[in-house]
Each structure stands twice: as structure tokens, then as C-alpha cells.
Structure 1
Amino acid sequence: MSNVTITISGRQYTVACGAGEEAHVERLGALIESKIAGMGNTAAQPEARMLLYAALLLADETQEATERARAAEEALAQDYEATAARLEALAGQLENAGQAS
């Protein structure tokens, strides 16, 4: 186990993580920090509320990305099915052409 210190809104947090995951945890902390910074003036907000808003923004982005990925998977599956149907039709045409010869 390792410990990583991340800074969010000027406050430092020490977070435990697995060996080799330090850079990943630092990137996650930077992502949270960027969400908070993007909210504008948060000086008057309690820390817990700022973190809640950042978590909600990140959860919203995650949900949208999941929905886009699901839609892309469905479109790809439909493309595969259509391609398979075309290949089967072509194979049938080739088979019929071979029998006619």
C-alpha cells in the first residue's frame, strides 16, 4: 500500500492506494480539483457541498459516457448483424450460381 497526498481547494488529503496506483490517484484528484475550479467562486461554500457538487458533475459525465458507449455497442451489433445477413445472402447467391453451372 502507498499513500498519496492530493490537494483539493487548497486542502491536502492523504489517500491510501495500491502500489503503482499513485499517479492514477493523483490524476483523479486533479480531475476533482478541476471540477471544483470550474464551478466558479466556491469560497463561501462548505467543503462538503463543494465535494458533493463535484461528485454530482463527475457522476453525470460518467452516466452520459456510459449511455454513449451502450448506444455505440448497440449500433455496432446492428452493423454486425446487417453485415452477416449480407454475407449470407452473397453466399447463397454464389451457391446458386455454382449449382446453375
Structure 2
Amino acid sequence: MAEVHLSIAGHNYTVACRDGEEARLTKLGEMVDAKTSLAQESVGGNLSEVRVLLFAALLLADEADELRTSTGLPAGTLDDLEKLADRLTALGDDLASDAGRT
């Protein structure tokens, strides 16, 4: 099992992945980081890490939904984006839960 180091919304994460998937996961992390930047710019203010990830997940889900309805992309590509959005939402839930314990 390989590990990838990601920087998303100014926070560093180490994420495990299957061997050989490091480049793809790095690319996906860069996409998420770009969406977190967009979320921070769009909403303004000082958002919590959880809310930034929530808005990034929503932006990715919106993008996937628009692609599904407007293009002929293979369903697998859109499913991958939706799975990523689901994972981000779960990560946000975990972070919110951890923040409530401190």
C-alpha cells in the first residue's frame, strides 16, 4: 500500500492508496485543493476546515451533475467524481466530530 501526501486548503494530509494510484490521487487532491480555493473566494470570510471541504464537495458534485446532464462522458468518470465528493463529505463529518471532542 502506497501513501500520498496532499495539501488541501492549507492543510497537509497523508492518504493511503493502492500501489500505482499515487499520480491519480495526487491529481484528484489538486482538483480538490482548487475547489477549496474557489469555495473560500466565493464565500469569503474565514471558513472552518470542515465548511471549506463541504463547499468543495458541493462544487465537485455540482460539476459532476452538470457533466452528467450535458455531455456524453463515460459514467465511470462521473461516478469517480461523485465518490470523491462522498469521501470529502465523510472526511468533513469526521473532522467536525473530532472538533466537537476538543
Q: TM-score range by the shorter chain?
A: 0.5 to 0.7
Q: Which runs of at least 4 in structure 1 moved beyond 3 Å after TM superposition?
A: none
DSSP-derived class of the 2:27 partner: helix
In the alignment of these two chains, the number of paired residues is: 70
Aligned Cα root-mean-square deviation (Å): 1.6
DSSP-derived class of the 1:44 partner: coil
* Conserved 8 A contact 1:2-1:17: yes
CA distance in 1, matches of 2:59, 2:38: 10
* 1:44-83 paired onto structure 2 within 5 Å: 44-69=46-71
CA shift for structure 1 position 43: 6.0
Greater relative contact order (Cα 8 A, min sep 6): structure 1 or 2?
2
CA shift for structure 1 position 42: 5.5
TM-score, normalised to structure 2, is 0.63
CA distance in 2, matches of 1:28, 1:37: 14
Query: Any stretches of 5+ residues in structure 2 without a counterpart?
Result: 73-102
Determine which structure has more spread, i.e. the larger CA radius of gyration: 1
